[in-house]
Amino acid sequence: MKSGKALLWKEWREIRWFLVAGAAIFIGWPLLEAVGNYRLGRGFYSTDMPEAIALLLGGPFAILVAVGVTCRDLKGKIACFWQSRPVSIRRWAVTKYLVGLAVVLIVLCVPLVMKIFVMRAEHELGQLSGILTCHTFTVILIYSISFLAGCLIRMPVYAVIFSGALALLVYFLPILAPPLESFSVFNIMIQSPVVVVQLSESVQGEPWIAEKMRVVKIPWADDLVLRYNIDLLRYIAFALAGSFAAVVLSAVAVKRNWRLKVGQKLMFWLLGGVAMFLLLTVVFQLRSNLTCIRQIPIKTASEKGFDVAAIASDGDKGVLLLHCRKTAYAEGKAMYYSLMTFDLSLKEPFGEEFVIPEDLEKAVWQNVGRSKLVWSAKHPQLLYMVRELHSQDKTDDKSKLNCAEILTISLSDSEAVVTDKIDLLPHIENRKGYCNGMCIYKDRVFVNLSGQVFIFDLGADGKLTFKSVTKRQVGVYDKVTRRDASRHTFATMLVGLIPAEGLTTEEQLKVAVELTDYPEIASEGDIIIGMDYDSPLTVYRLKEVRDDVATLEMAGYHRPTPLERFTGMFPTPVFVRDGLAYTLGGFGGGLTVYDVRQPQYIKRIGHYVAPDEMFLAIAPLPDGNILVGGSKLHIVRPPKVKR
Amino acid sequence: MIKALFWKEWCEHRWKLAYGCVLLMGFVAVGLRSRIVQDAVIVVFAAVGGSVLMPLLVGMGLVAAERSDGSLEMLLALPVRSWKIFAVKMAMGTLVCVGPIVGCMVLSLAMAAGREMSASRIIVPYLGGVAFSIVMLVWMVAFSIRQPSEARAGLVGIAVFMVWFFMIILDESAWLLDGSSLVITPFGIFDCTLDRNYDILPKVISVQLVIGFCLMMWAAYRFGKLGRTKE
């Protein structure tokens, strides 16, 4: 038998138990789940088990195999025995490396390939191809590093621990350190690294992903292309180069008898140190760093526990719209609301609670979104809102407006009572639309309803007087995004302004933004902060105004860090003050603050989250602090920035 | 002599106690201070993570290290009954396993009691972690007592854990529908303390006590036999 064949045979005899154990775990578990499902009458299928096992256990399995194949033959007298054999070190090392790698790849890839053939579901294929094309190379890299560690350390436990620490860095450091994001396996996998798509869909998605996508035409299908991420090629090149270097170093280490003298303590502290370093990196990026000056529990007449759904404020006074989810679930109702006044200058900030009668609840529910409840400190006992009722039109099966009126609600008794209403229906030509927004500015109330803008004067007694109605498109109504040959993104936003007297262009822009349907938009001066599909936070700057239409151009966007993308919750802008954009719905449902003074370099500078709290409402306070509403009112100090 | 044995074990394992305390208590301190997740998540992670990692770390070095170093013969040659030596080892191992978890409990109470969780809600998962770590140490030492190296002892510990896990999966896959895996494996402890399934608590305690006692007797018997001391 030639030495090569003999080496192969020996390696196979020694490693086959790893193959059996690996097959039992990586193939056996999904099969077990499938059989269980079959026995319970749910069909013979496995859910995400093969992917989950490949992602969770692929790295550890590679480490065990690599350390197993190296340490067995390199400890004590066995190493001397091998040095006495007429076998070149290079051949010995390469045979060991390749046989071990083959076992790892068989165990890792076979269940995934099997699932691809069994499932054939399109949405599953993207995920599986991501794991196969990207994670497989991570496992190869980890296997190679562990192989080198085994050759250098030659003690299985320490080699496993050392390799485990390095594997943690390979997996998680690139997702935690933004400059390394191109080398993050998770980052590349969630961007669908390789997928066959229609030609028209070849360039889509967020700008920072779109600029990395490349397409290759498929010769036998005219309308299909293979879209791949350029980062995937870089990552594969990096993993293969790293693996090659590790193998060469391993051969040199064995030939020259290099050894790392390590102790148990050093190894465990290394592993613990790496784990703590990664934890601290996560915490540094996601921690809550804004100070809560005051938390005020909301005391209502009922003991059911209310959350703040909306805040209509003017200075440090205002009205809270409260809702009780528990009651809603228990009684099968959609929601359950009440109103409560507050004055934060007082020691006991909460005023009276006003129960909303059932006939008003639906109208209130429609006005939960921002800018649809209006309140003024000049008339603290009055609240204004739109009531609109729709029905299905039998002719075209579309929603038809049956009722549209401005309600003035008195908050003087214990129940919210409608004291005045103005019917808007006679003024509405197209009854297919909805109310997009309502706001108060300089003693005028503006309502954007069904493609028309209504303007009311607010009298000294708080009574609304109809002033004018204009049929025009107000607010953000168009966004054009294009990419040039180098895949840079350019975007333009068109905003319809209100030709109201006494308002400057910037004030008109502010009112127009308030009347825009999306809650994900805010403005200050000549800039608008928007949230759209392409970017969670985009800054547009006013370019020109022509025929009461403002044209704004994209000045920059926030490129979320890999960790922000991975945690998945994109914040929505609520308001901008002094160049700081305040957003809700970031990580943990919290308040996140971005510095947008330099739109090209938007920075995340503050975050506030209170556990068990999902903030739904936010308002600026005159002293510079921020009022945030959850199950309590939180007064949060804004971050300090250099002016 | 027993005091001397305790001192020897203490000198050998005190760094593991320090390691466990720094790692687990550091995790709890950072997690509870930064509040990036709910306090309950930090508490459960510390209790479950500590109760799995510490027995593995301690169990690897308790007996197998003596065998691989060749010092077990010397130890057994001392004028002390072998079961007493084994008992001292187990006592020290238990202390090292439990110490960091108790430390985490005290730290969690100091930092977060009454904030999101009441003191009792914080204590219960840690008590579960303490119980689980002791049971895991007993199982691991019992099955790895004749292993000639720390690596093999560690692998035995991982294998024991995987077998428990496999039993749970078998149970959930409708093969053993009576839920007996929760009683036979120590996962029942977490079912009681984390999911508050107190109905099975007496059963879990009695079964685990019986199993633990039998395993200890078996291990003490085998500890006195030199068996294979070399790989």
CA distances for A74 relative to A78, A82, A156, A163, A248, angstroms: 6, 8, 10, 17, 17
Indicate if the pLDDT at residue A328 is higher than 60: no
Question: For residue A288, what is the nearest residue in chain B, using CA coordinates?
Answer: B34
d(CA A410, CA A418): 6
Cβ contacts of A612 on chain B, cutoff 8 Å: 38, 116
The Cα angle at residue A295 between residues A293 and A299, in degrees rounded to 5: 155
Q: Is B108 exposed, middle or buried (0-12, 13-18, 19+ CB in 10 A)?
A: buried
Backbone angles phi, psi at A130, to 5 degrees: -60, -45
In angstroms, the separation between the Cα of residue B66 and the nearest Cα of chain A is 14
Do B24 and B100 meet the contact criterion of CB atoms below 8 Å apart?
A: yes
Residue A588 and residue B172: Cβ atoms within 8 Å? Answer: no
Would an 8 Å CB–CB cutoff place A39 in contact with chain B? yes
| Kind and range of the H or E run holding A496 | strand A489-496
d(CA B98, CA A8): 47
d(CA B138, CA A457): 80
Residue B34 and residue A587: Cβ atoms within 8 Å? Answer: no
Indicate if the pLDDT at residue A312 is higher than 70: yes
Residue B36 and residue A287: Cβ atoms within 8 Å? Answer: yes
Regarding predicted confidence, which is higher, B38 or A139?
A: A139
Regarding predicted confidence, which is higher, A208 or A8?
A: A8
Q: Which of B42, B6, B7 is nearest to B26 (CA)?
A: B42
Q: What's the pLDDT tens digit per position in B57-99?
A: 999 888 888 888 888 888 888 888 888 999 999 999 999 999 9
Question: For residue B31, what is the nearest residue in chain A, using CA coordinates?
Answer: A283
Share of chain B above pLDDT 90, in %: 45
Please give the average per-residue pLDDT across A28-55, as a whole number: 78
HEC assignment per residue over A395-432: CCCCEEEEEEEEEEEECCCCECEEEEEEECHHHCCCCC
- pLDDT band per the 50, 70, 90 thresholds, residue A372: low
Q: What's the pLDDT tens digit per position in B196-206?
A: 878 888 888 99
| Kind and range of the H or E run holding B154 | helix B150-172
| Kind and range of the H or E run holding A58 | helix A49-74
**Bridging pattern class, strands A307-314 and A317-323:** antiparallel
Q: What is the pLDDT of residue B98?
A: 95
Q: Which of A599, A478, A501, A489 is nearest to A550 (CA)?
A: A478
Helix ranges, A184-324 (H): 185-190, 207-210, 230-255, 264-286
- ipTM attached to this prediction: 0.81
Indicate if the pLDDT at residue B140 is higher than 90: yes
3-class DSSP assignment, residue A29: helix
Do B8 and B75 meet the contact criterion of CB atoms below 8 Å apart?
A: no
Please give the average per-residue pLDDT across A595-607, as a whole number: 87
The Cα angle at residue A531 between residues A525 and A536, in degrees rounded to 5: 120
A residues 147-206 lying closer than 8 A (beta carbon) to B: 155-157, 160
Tell me the average pLDDT of chain B: 87
Indicate if the pLDDT at residue A61 is higher than 70: yes
Q: What's the pLDDT tens digit per position in A380-399?
A: 888 888 888 777 777 777 77
d(CA B211, CA B207): 6
For chain A, how are helix, strand and coil distributed in percent, rounded to 5?
A: 40, 30, 30
Task: Round to the nearest angstrom and report the end-to-end CA distance of chain B.
Answer: 30
Q: What's the pLDDT tens digit per position in A448-489?
A: 887 888 899 988 888 888 888 888 778 877 777 666 555 566
Question: For residue B60, what is the nearest residue in chain A, using CA coordinates?
Answer: A157
Share of chain B above pLDDT 70, in %: 94
d(CA A217, CA A511): 48
Which residue in this structure is represented by tokens 């790989």?
B231
Q: Is A256 exposed, middle or buried (0-12, 13-18, 19+ CB in 10 A)?
A: exposed
Both structure tokens of A636: 């949060």
Regarding predicted confidence, which is higher, A608 or A643?
A: A608
Residue A40 and residue B174: Cβ atoms within 8 Å? Answer: yes
Would an 8 Å CB–CB cutoff place B39 in contact with chain A? yes
d(CA A453, CA A447): 6
Q: What is the pLDDT of residue A275?
A: 92
Tell me the average pLDDT of chain A: 82
Residue A272 and residue B23: Cβ atoms within 8 Å? Answer: yes
Is the alpha carbon torsion for A519, A523, A529, A532 positive or negative?
A: positive
Q: What's the pLDDT tens digit per position in A506-547?
A: 888 888 888 887 656 788 888 888 876 556 688 889 998 888
Both structure tokens of A475: 């607010």
For residue B219, what are the β-bridge partners? none
CA distances for A242 relative to A77, A165, A293, A573, A636, angstroms: 30, 17, 51, 43, 48
Q: What is the pLDDT of residue B141?
A: 93
Report the greatest alpha carbon distance in chain A.
106
Q: What is the DSSP string of A339-389?
A: EEEEETTSSS-EEEEEEPPHHHHHHHHHT-STTSEEE-TTSTTEEEEEEEE
Tell which phi-psi region holds residue A76, choosing left (phi > 0), alpha (psi between -120 and 50) or beta: left
Please give the average per-residue pLDDT across A365-391, as a whole number: 76
Indicate if the pLDDT at residue A245 is higher than 50: yes
- pLDDT band per the 50, 70, 90 thresholds, residue A257: confident
d(CA A379, CA A314): 11
Do B220 and B142 meet the contact criterion of CB atoms below 8 Å apart?
A: no
Please give the average per-residue pLDDT across B11-32, as a whole number: 93
In angstroms, the separation between the Cα of residue B132 and the nearest Cα of chain A is 22
Which DSSP symbol is given to A133? I
Helix ranges, B21-81 (H): 26-34, 39-62, 64-69, 72-77
Output the CA torsion A48→A49→A53→A56 (10° steps). 50
Q: What is the pLDDT of residue A606?
A: 87
Q: What is the pLDDT of residue B28?
A: 95
Q: Which of A173-177, A341-345, B129-133 has the highest mean pLDDT?
A: B129-133
3-class DSSP assignment, residue A191: coil
B residues 102-141 lying closer than 8 A (beta carbon) to A: 116
Question: For residue B15, what is the nearest residue in chain A, using CA coordinates?
Answer: A265
In angstroms, the separation between the Cα of residue A287 and the nearest Cα of chain B is 5
Residue A286 and residue B60: Cβ atoms within 8 Å? Answer: no
Residue B169 and residue A39: Cβ atoms within 8 Å? Answer: no
Q: What is the DSSP string of A69-132?
A: HHHHHHSHHHHHHHHHSS--HHHHHHHHHHHHHHHHHHHHHHHHHHHHHHH--HHHHHHHHHII
Which DSSP symbol is given to A24? I
Choose, out of A31, A63, A157, A592, the residue to mutate when testing the contact with B (most B CBs < 10 Å).
A157
**Bridging pattern class, strands A464-471 and A452-458:** antiparallel
d(CA A247, CA A240): 10
CA distances for A296 relative to A299, A300, A344, A368, angstroms: 9, 12, 10, 22
Which residue in this structure is represented by tokens 């214990």?
A414
Q: Which of A383, A295, A294, A289 is nearest to A337 (CA)?
A: A383
Q: What is the pLDDT of residue A119?
A: 65
CA distances for A81 relative to A73, A86, A256, A604, angstroms: 9, 10, 15, 60
In total, chain A counts a number of residues equal to 643
Residue A609 and residue B35: Cβ atoms within 8 Å? Answer: yes
- pLDDT band per the 50, 70, 90 thresholds, residue B229: very low
Question: For residue A33, what is the nearest residue in chain B, using CA coordinates?
Answer: B173
Do A93 and A247 meet the contact criterion of CB atoms below 8 Å apart?
A: yes
d(CA B138, CA B212): 6
Do A181 and A174 meet the contact criterion of CB atoms below 8 Å apart?
A: yes
Choose, out of A264, A285, A295, the residue to mutate when testing the contact with B (most B CBs < 10 Å).
A264
Is the alpha carbon torsion for B127, B128, B130, B135 positive or negative?
A: positive
Q: Which of B177, B43, B199, B169 is nearest to B113 (CA)?
A: B43
Please give the average per-residue pLDDT across B161-172, as a whole number: 82
Nearest to B39 among A25, A275, A611 (CB): A611
**Bridging pattern class, strands A489-496 and A549-557:** antiparallel
Would an 8 Å CB–CB cutoff place B45 in contact with chain A? no
**Distance of alpha carbon B93 from the chain centroid:** 8
Residue A157 and residue B60: Cβ atoms within 8 Å? Answer: yes
Nearest to B36 among A156, A272, A286 (CB): A286
In angstroms, the separation between the Cα of residue B14 and the nearest Cα of chain A is 11
Indicate if the pLDDT at residue B176 is higher than 70: no
Task: Round to the nearest angstrom and report the end-to-end CA distance of chain A.
Answer: 79
In angstroms, the separation between the Cα of residue A521 and the nearest Cα of chain B is 26
Beta-carbon contacts below 8 Å between A and B: 70
Indicate if the pLDDT at residue A20 is higher than 90: yes
Both structure tokens of A313: 């404020």
Would an 8 Å CB–CB cutoff place B174 in contact with chain A? yes
Indicate if the pLDDT at residue A405 is higher than 60: yes
Q: What is the pLDDT of residue B231?
A: 45
Regarding predicted confidence, which is higher, B15 or A532?
A: B15
Residue A611 and residue B175: Cβ atoms within 8 Å? Answer: no
In angstroms, the separation between the Cα of residue A610 and the nearest Cα of chain B is 8
